[in-house]
Amino acid sequence: MRALKFFLRMWGFIVGMVLTFAALPVGECKVAVDDIRSAFIEEVEEISKTTYVIGHTCPDSDTVCSAIAYANLKQKQNFKCEPRISGAINKETDFILKYFDVDAPPVIENVSGKNIILVDHNISAQAVAGIENACVMEIIDHHNLFGDIKAQKPIFYLTMPVGCTATIVWLCYRQNNVAIDKKMAGLMFGAILSDTDNLRSANTTGLDIEAANNLQKIAAIDDRNKFFVSMEKDFTNYDGMSEREIIFIDFKEFGAGNLKCGWSTVATLNISEREKIKMRLDDFMKKFFDKQGLDMFFIKLHEIENYSAEMLAYGVGAREILSAALGLEDKNNFVLEKNLPNKKIARGITAAIENNRTAA
Ligand SMILES: [Mn+2]
């Protein structure tokens, strides 16, 4: 009887210990991460060089705002860190920066020999010139992994399948217990609305929504929808812009099979605006596509009011590839009643091109 009591008591003790330790790793982990961070800081201080946080070329709002907000977080953690951009900002980003009274970061044309942190991209085709000779310290991103960026030592590589890099930056503030000021909250809020089409895109996650709600409060924005429309109104006004300028507002390159593909996303306010811009760009692309140095060129015209989209395809076999990628029979008309994520379509295009190659 005594032995049984002892056994039960010991058993209770063991179960209790197991439960206690099972609950511990969160705290344990935090200590370990702080250790790594301080080692990183020491190294940065030792070489006493400024680290530049920079997004992709053809900068969009997420790339610019995430660079500013992440550099701000690093500064608050005593890093010598500054945001940079690779080129002129677009009208949407300009609206966000002006609304929250933040200056656009300086442009950097070449990062060779610099310490850099990449946000919102992980591929050299989308990176600023000189990337192959830069010292990449961290990558914070939410895109497909193509992985051709090299680092000479292990680095922080935070990639999450969320709708926006700014959501990950928001999480970094939270995890590091750093307070977010109104300006930074506004920039991250704007970036999330931009990348997730006002939290409607298919790649919007619960974390994006949580981040947006939290940041909206800090930024003191009363009406999210109203803010989004005013943000997009300037951005989707293409008066006074050339077709080439419109196409390169949001342009990315990607490799598929052995082909080089271009991808441009153009935002429009409603369906009649979408039709108008389609006529302009289609005319232009039919004349000038062969001068882009790409095998295929895809344009997505998305429309904000009803959240629909239309795709255009240029290059030999591009229409066939796009119809396979979208699962649409019609090879002349690529209207999507409900907009699809760029990533998803690009994955479909890559798969269709690779299928084609193995079939040939
Ligand atoms: Mn992004």
Distance from residue 208's CA to the centre of ligand 1 (Å): 12
Domains assigned to the chain: 29-233 (3.90.1640.10), 243-359 (3.10.310.20)
| Nearest-angstrom CA–CA distance, 345 and 339 | 10
Q: What is the pLDDT of residue 4?
A: 59
Q: What is the pLDDT of residue 250?
A: 86
Q: How far apart are the first and last CA of the chain?
A: 79
| Nearest-angstrom CA–CA distance, 113 and 110 | 9
Contact 305, 232 (CB under 8 A): no
| Nearest-angstrom CA–CA distance, 251 and 223 | 30
Q: Give which of 219, 221, 217, 207 is closest to 170, Cα–Cα.
A: 207
Residue with tokens 């300009």: 94
Within 10 angstroms of residue 25's Cβ, the number of other Cβ atoms is 10
Distance from residue 55's CA to the centre of ligand 1 (Å): 9
Q: What is the pLDDT of residue 194?
A: 95
Encoding tokens for residue 80?
A: 């010598």
Q: What is the pLDDT of residue 184?
A: 98
Residue with tokens 């610019």: 64
Rounded to whole angstroms, what are the CA distances from 290 to 92, 141, 240? 30, 32, 25
Contact 172, 209 (CB under 8 A): no
Which residues of the chain are modeled with pLDDT < 70? 1-47, 360
Distance from residue 142's CA to the centre of ligand 1 (Å): 7
Q: What is the pLDDT of residue 23?
A: 44
Distance from residue 238's CA to the centre of ligand 1 (Å): 22
| Nearest-angstrom CA–CA distance, 131 and 111 | 6
Per the confidence metrics, is the pTM higher than 0.95? no
Q: What is the pLDDT of residue 182?
A: 98
| Nearest-angstrom CA–CA distance, 45 and 34 | 16
Distance from residue 167's CA to the centre of ligand 1 (Å): 9
Distance from residue 316's CA to the centre of ligand 1 (Å): 30
Chain-centre distance for alpha carbon 268: 20
Distance from residue 3's CA to the centre of ligand 1 (Å): 63
